């Protein structure tokens, strides 16, 4: 097992999800329920399922497009979105 890949994936997803609408929705559901473990299990399984879809889709796309081009494309999209965000703010 590649522990560096595991750790970087965990850190990236954990930090990305903090304060995300999914976390806020889970917080709201837990606050309004007496069965917090049911909310936890439901939200955890939902995150696992959506991550499984992403991994399977990533694997399928990687068979058609070399990973280096996927990384470059993702980087370009982030740069464009960042530029648009800065432009709108200014």
Segments forming the whole domain that contains residue 29: 3-89
Residue pair 15/23 in contact (Cβ under 8 Å)? The answer is: no
Query: How many domains is the chain built from?
Result: 1
Does this model's pTM top 0.75?
no
Angle between helical axes of 21-31 and 36-64 (0-180°, round to 10): 160
pLDDT band at 90 (very low <50, low <70, confident <90, very high): confident
In this predicted structure, what is the pLDDT of residue 79? 96
């Amino acid at each position: 097992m590649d522990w560096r890949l595991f750790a970087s994936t965990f850190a990236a997803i954990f930090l990305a999800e903090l304060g995300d609408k999914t976390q806020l929705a889970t917080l709201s559901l837990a606050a309004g329920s007496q069965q917090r473990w049911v909310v936890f299990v439901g939200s955890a399984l939902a995150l696992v399922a959506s991550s499984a879809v992403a991994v399977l889709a990533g694997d399928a796309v990687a068979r058609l497009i070399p990973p280096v081009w996927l990384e470059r494309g993702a980087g370009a999209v982030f740069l464009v979105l960042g530029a648009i965000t800065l432009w709108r703010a200014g």
